[in-house]
Structure 1
Amino acid sequence: MKIGVFGGTFDPVHIGHIHAVAEAKIALNLDKVIIIPARQSPLKSSSPTKDKHRLNMLHHAVEGYGFIEIDTFELEQEGVSYTYGTALYLARKYPEDELYFLMGMDQYRSFDKWHKNDELLELMNFAVMARAAEDVRVKQPFIHIQQPVVEVSSTIIRERIANGNIVRHQLNSAVYKYIKEQGLYEA
């Protein structure tokens, strides 16, 4: 089986995340995609919204996408989430399967700063999702996936909510409703 792995803080998960996962499934002919929310990203200084809220939003966002699963491995760990530890866990859990870590250009450009990055390349494949309009060249062993990308940012969504601006068009309707009901990101 070919399995995509998509990690992040998803604070909040937005339509761009799900769009990217669906496009990667098509491009790589994946059987399923596992979304793994991080407790705390090692390359981000701010703490994300509580795990339970991010997890609830993810469940709302992936409802109806039968090929997407959510794995809480990183949320169950203490401290910062490193992809290396997650890759070891997944390699043990899916020893007969082909794993593809799905990453954006920003992650690709900072890959040299990742914890045990050389060892990571031994554990799974890495697919770089780039915007169709970008002139991108990724080096081997990275796989380039050119896809139409929806320009959405979790940071901008949080800022807009705090400032009372509209964000409804950037979120799955169930995620938007959950954010409003819980009063998340309000100033």
Structure 2
Amino acid sequence: MHSNNIILVYGGAFNPPSASHITLAKQLLNYTGAKKLMFVPVGNQYKKKELIPAYHRINMLQIACECNNRLEVNTTDVDFKRRLYTIETLEIIKKQNSDKDIYFIIGTDNLRDILNWKHWQRLLTEYKIIVMDRGEDTIFKVFKDIPILKKYKANLIQIPGLLVNNISSTLIRNNIRQDKTIEHLTIKKIIKYIKENNLYK
């Protein structure tokens, strides 16, 4: 799969970016040989409990990107006035990078829900989707449970051997509220940013 023609798109709240997000991004870059990986944080229109303003999440992601020049932050969702559907976000990124192949990153939990997504057939036909296992759940179990997805197997990619730990943004936020350490949960510069801006208290 190694190709300088690939752009990986990694969407999420990143509230805040965790060690898992950063480690996974680096692994995906190494495995695919992609030109770059874009973190695409959701905008403020996204109604999610405890979601802090986008500019803080962007700043923290930019800190995360300092460790690798193939990582960058894309603010498509943040800049838009309304909440975008995934297909719309990918179309905008594709227009900005028309000579590149766009690979979208999701977990098996999202794949199980994908039939409820807007224009899901187009999503699975026009884009390559990297599917990450969630615990014991694998892409093959999803195919077994939702046979219609087998039709799109060529565009659904499983990457073996990814070291995915379960450090979540929720765990970081809970630890902050309970005055527990987050030293092992994200990188030092992000911890410094959280403390300086008194976030998640």
TM-score, normalized by length of structure 1? 0.90
Letter in 1 for 2:38: I
- Contact 1:19–1:150 under 8 Å retained in 2: no
- Contact 1:40–1:81 under 8 Å retained in 2: no
Q: Which residue pairs with 1:152 in the alignment?
A: 167
- Contact 2:62–2:72 under 8 Å retained in 1: no
- CA RMSD, 1 decimal: 2.0
- Contact 1:91–1:123 under 8 Å retained in 2: no
Offset of residue 94 of structure 1: 1.4
5, 17, 21: which one aligns with 1:17: 21
Return the index of the structure with the highest Cα Rg. 2
Note the residue ranges of structure 2 that are not aligned, 5 or more in a row: 144-149
Task: Give per-residue Cα distances to partners, 1:16-61, cap 9 Å, x unaligned.
Answer: 001111111222221211111111586x642610111111111111
Misfit runs of 4+, over 6 Å: none
1:10 aligns to what SS in structure 2?
coil
More helix by share: 2
The number of residues matched between the two structures is 185
Aligned sequence identity (%): 28
Letter in 2 for 1:145: I
Note the residue ranges of structure 1 that are not aligned, 5 or more in a row: none
Q: Distance in 2 between matches of 1:167 and 1:105?
A: 27
72, 77, 83: which one aligns with 1:74: 77
Q: Distance in 2 between matches of 1:45 and 1:170?
A: 21
Offset of residue 150 of structure 1: 2.0
Letter in 2 for 1:123: E
- Of the structure 1 ranges 151-160 and 105-114, higher mean CA displacement relative to structure 2 is found in 105-114
Q: Does 1:122 align with 2:125?
A: yes
